[in-house]
Chain A
Amino acid sequence: MATHKVTMKVNGKAVSGEVESRTLLVHFLRETLRLTGTHVGCDTSQCGACTVHMNGESVKSCSLFAVQCEGQDIQTIEGVATGDQLHPMQQAFKDNHGLQCGYCTPGMIMTALDMVRRIPSPSEQEIRKNLEGNMCRCTGYHNIVKSIAAGAKAMAGAR
Chain B
Amino acid sequence: MGAEFGIGASVKRKEDFRFVTGRGNYLDDINRPGQAYGYFVRSPYAHAKIAGIDAKKASKMPGVVRVLTGADLEADKIGGLICGWNVKSKDGTDTRMPKHPALASDTVRYVGDAIALVVAETYAQARDAAEAVKVKYDVLPAQIDVSKADKKGAAIVHADVRRNMAYDWEIGDKKATDAAFAKAAHVAKLDLVNNRVAPNAMEPRAAIGEYSASDDSFTLYTTSQNPHVARLVLSAFVQIAPEHKLRVVSPDMGGGFGSKIFIYPDETAVIWAAKKVGRPVKWTSDRAEAFQTDCHGRDHVTHVELALDQGGKFLGLRVSTKANMGAYLSTFASCVPSYLYGTLLQGQYTTGAIHCEVKAVFTHTTPVDAVRGAGRPEATYVIERIIDVAARDLKIDPADLRRRNMIQPNAFPYQTQVALQYDSGNYPAALTKALEIADYKGFAQRRDEAKRRGKLRGIGLSSYIEACGIAPSAVVGALGCGVGLYEGATVRMNPTGSAIVYIGSHSHGQGHETTFSQVVHERLGVPFEQIEIVHGDTGKIPFGMGTYGSRSIAVGGVALQNAVDKLIEKGRKIAAHKLEVAESDIQFKDGTYSVVGTDKKTSFAEVTFAAYVPHNYPAGLEPGMEATAFYDPANFTFPAGTHVCEVEVDPDTGGVEVVKWSACDDFGRIINPMIVEGQVHGGIAHGIGQALLEGCVYDKSGQLLTASYMDYAMPRADNFPTIKVDTIQTPCPHNALGVKGCGEAGAIAAPPAVVNAIANALNVKHVEMPATAERVWQALNA
- The residues of A with any CB-CB pair to B shorter than 8 Å are 1, 20, 22, 30, 35-44, 46-47, 49, 76-78, 80-81, 86, 90-91, 93-95, 97, 99-106, 109, 124-125, 127-129, 131-132, 134-145
Q: How far is the CA of A76 from the CA of B508 in the complex (A)?
A: 24
Residue on B nearest A107 in the bound complex, by CB: B202
CB-based contact A141/B709 at 8 Å: no
Whether a CB of chain A sits under 8 angstroms from the CB of B16 is: yes
CB-based contact A124/B710 at 8 Å: no
Given contacts A102-B19, A102-B252, contact A140 B204 (CB under 8 A): no
Task: A94-B20, A99-B19, A131-B717 given; name 11 further pairs at CB < 8 Å.
Answer: A36-B28, A37-B24, A41-B203, A86-B20, A97-B678, A102-B509, A128-B720, A137-B202, A139-B685, A141-B685, A142-B723
Cβ contacts under 8 Å, A131 to chain B: 716-718
Whether a CB of chain A sits under 8 angstroms from the CB of B288 is: yes
Q: How far is the CA of A144 from the CA of B255 in the complex (A)?
A: 16
Cβ contacts under 8 Å, B287 to chain A: 41-44, 47
Cβ contacts under 8 Å, B202 to chain A: 39, 41, 47, 49, 101, 103-104, 135-138
Interface centre among B12, B124, B681, B717 (most CB of A within 10 A): B717
Cβ contacts under 8 Å, A141 to chain B: 685, 716-717, 720
Cβ contacts under 8 Å, B510 to chain A: 100
What are 12 contact pairs spanning A and B, CB under 8 A?
A36-B22, A39-B28, A42-B708, A43-B287, A100-B509, A102-B20, A103-B26, A104-B254, A109-B20, A132-B716, A140-B715, A140-B723
Cβ contacts under 8 Å, B13 to chain A: 94, 97
Q: How far is the CA of A153 from the CA of B23 in the complex (A)?
A: 25
Q: How far is the CA of A44 from the CA of B714 in the complex (A)?
A: 13
Cβ contacts under 8 Å, B204 to chain A: 40-41
The 9 closest A-B pairs by CB, nearest first: A37-B22, A103-B254, A102-B19, A140-B685, A101-B509, A46-B709, A77-B22, A100-B509, A36-B29
Q: How far is the CA of A141 from the CA of B678 in the complex (A)?
A: 10
CB-based contact B681/A139 at 8 Å: yes
Cβ contacts under 8 Å, B24 to chain A: 37, 102-103
Cβ contacts under 8 Å, B26 to chain A: 36, 39, 103
CB-based contact A137/B288 at 8 Å: no
Q: How far is the CA of A93 from the CA of B286 in the complex (A)?
A: 27
Number of residues from B at the complex interface, CB < 8 A: 57
Given contacts A43-B286, A80-B21, A94-B16, contact A140 B720 (CB under 8 A): yes
Cβ contacts under 8 Å, B684 to chain A: 140
Whether a CB of chain A sits under 8 angstroms from the CB of B200 is: yes
Q: How far is the CA of A144 from the CA of B34 in the complex (A)?
A: 39
Looking at the assembled complex, report how far the CB atom of B412 sits from the nearest CB atom of chain A, in whole angstroms: 31
Cβ contacts under 8 Å, B117 to chain A: none
CB-based contact A103/B255 at 8 Å: yes
CB-based contact B20/A138 at 8 Å: no
0/1 interface trace, chain B 704-739, chain A, CB 8 Å (1 if under): 000011100011111010110000000000000000
CB-based contact B20/A105 at 8 Å: yes
Given contacts A47-B202, A129-B718, contact A90 B682 (CB under 8 A): no
B62, B715, B717: the one contacting A145 at CB < 8 Å is B717
Cβ contacts under 8 Å, B28 to chain A: 30, 36, 39-40
Within 8 A of A (CB), among B18-67: 18-24, 26, 28-29, 62
Looking at the assembled complex, report how far the CB atom of B351 sits from the nearest CB atom of chain A, in whole angstroms: 31
Q: How far is the CA of A76 from the CA of B20 in the complex (A)?
A: 11
B21, B508, B709: the one contacting A78 at CB < 8 Å is B21
Given contacts A76-B22, A132-B717, A140-B681, contact A101 B17 (CB under 8 A): no
Given contacts A99-B16, A103-B203, A104-B202, contact A77 B21 (CB under 8 A): yes
Cβ contacts under 8 Å, B683 to chain A: 140
Q: How far is the CA of A134 from the CA of B684 in the complex (A)?
A: 18
Looking at the assembled complex, report how far the CB atom of A78 sits from the nearest CB atom of chain B, in whole angstroms: 5
CB-based contact A43/B288 at 8 Å: yes
CB-based contact A137/B20 at 8 Å: no
Cβ contacts under 8 Å, A78 to chain B: 21-23
Cβ contacts under 8 Å, A129 to chain B: 717-718
Given contacts A43-B288, A128-B718, contact A20 B509 (CB under 8 A): no
Whether a CB of chain A sits under 8 angstroms from the CB of B15 is: yes
CB-based contact A101/B21 at 8 Å: no
Residue on A nearest B125 in the bound complex, by CB: A1
CB-based contact B16/A124 at 8 Å: no
Given contacts A101-B203, A135-B714, A135-B716, contact A37 B16 (CB under 8 A): no
Whether a CB of chain A sits under 8 angstroms from the CB of B253 is: yes
CB-based contact A42/B681 at 8 Å: no
Looking at the assembled complex, report how far the CB atom of B200 sits from the nearest CB atom of chain A, in whole angstroms: 6
Looking at the assembled complex, report how far the CB atom of A114 sits from the nearest CB atom of chain B, in whole angstroms: 15
Looking at the assembled complex, report how far the CB atom of B564 sits from the nearest CB atom of chain A, in whole angstroms: 26
Q: How far is the CA of A112 from the CA of B57 in the complex (A)?
A: 48
Whether a CB of chain A sits under 8 angstroms from the CB of B8 is: no
Cβ contacts under 8 Å, A1 to chain B: 62, 124
Cβ contacts under 8 Å, A124 to chain B: 722
Given contacts A36-B29, A138-B255, A139-B678, contact A132 B718 (CB under 8 A): yes
Whether a CB of chain A sits under 8 angstroms from the CB of B474 is: no
Whether a CB of chain A sits under 8 angstroms from the CB of B201 is: yes
Looking at the assembled complex, report how far the CB atom of A58 sits from the nearest CB atom of chain B, in whole angstroms: 15
CB-based contact A99/B254 at 8 Å: no
Whether a CB of chain A sits under 8 angstroms from the CB of B511 is: yes
CB-based contact A101/B20 at 8 Å: no
Within 8 A of A (CB), among B647-698: 674-675, 677-679, 681-686
CB-based contact A44/B509 at 8 Å: no
Q: How far is the CA of A86 from the CA of B16 in the complex (A)?
A: 11
Cβ contacts under 8 Å, B255 to chain A: 100-101, 103, 137-138
Whether a CB of chain A sits under 8 angstroms from the CB of B257 is: yes
A46, A128, A143: the one contacting B710 at CB < 8 Å is A46
